[in-house]
Amino acid sequence: MKKEALGQCPVCQKPVEVTELSCKSCDTTVRGHFKLCRFCRLASEHKEFAEVFIKNRGNIKEIEKELGISYPTVKGKLDSLIEALGYKNTVPEPAYKKEILERLDRGEISSEEAIRLMNE
């Protein structure tokens, strides 16, 4: 079983720094201060969602099916991932759209009705 490097300290939750790299093949060791990439620092739930998102080429319907979650939940997980990567959501979803999606998720309206409302 391959162990994954920790992206954050298990005690204080701050980013960790890699200080040594080793090659198993030639036994070379490099010491220094190395930054982990943004993806390495993600929590496992964000990494798993990113993998599913990429595998499905961002197709929300396929992500919904694979994870067994609703459209609003996929959007929420994507927004959380974007934020975890250090980016700000520059296109906030209008409140009325969120309400429509929540109504759709609760089964109060059909997908056709949701589409009609979104396009108004």
Q: What is the pLDDT of residue 6?
A: 80
Is residue 54 located within the same domain as residue 105? yes
Torsion angle defined by CA atoms of residues 91, 57, 45 and 72, in that order, rounded to the nearest 10 degrees: 50
Q: What is the pLDDT of residue 119?
A: 78
Is residue 72 located within the same domain as residue 102? yes
Q: What is the pLDDT of residue 91?
A: 65
Is residue 66 located within the same domain as residue 16? no
Is residue 52 located within the same domain as residue 14? no
Is residue 20 located within the same domain as residue 55? no
Is residue 20 located within the same domain as residue 58? no
Is residue 61 located within the same domain as residue 83? yes
What pLDDT tens digit does each residue of the chain (120 aa) get? Answer: 677 778 888 899 888 889 999 999 999 999 999 888 889 889 889 999 999 999 999 999 999 999 999 888 998 899 999 999 999 877 666 777 878 888 888 889 888 888 888 877
Is residue 62 located within the same domain as residue 27? no
Is residue 22 located within the same domain as residue 51? no
Is residue 32 located within the same domain as residue 82? no
User: What's the domain range around 11?
Assistant: 1-38
Q: What is the pLDDT of residue 88?
A: 84
Domain count, the chain: 2
Q: What is the pLDDT of residue 93?
A: 67
Give pTM, 2 decimals: 0.64
Contacts of 37 (CB under 8 A, 6+ apart): none
Q: What is the pLDDT of residue 7?
A: 81
Is residue 82 located within the same domain as residue 106? yes
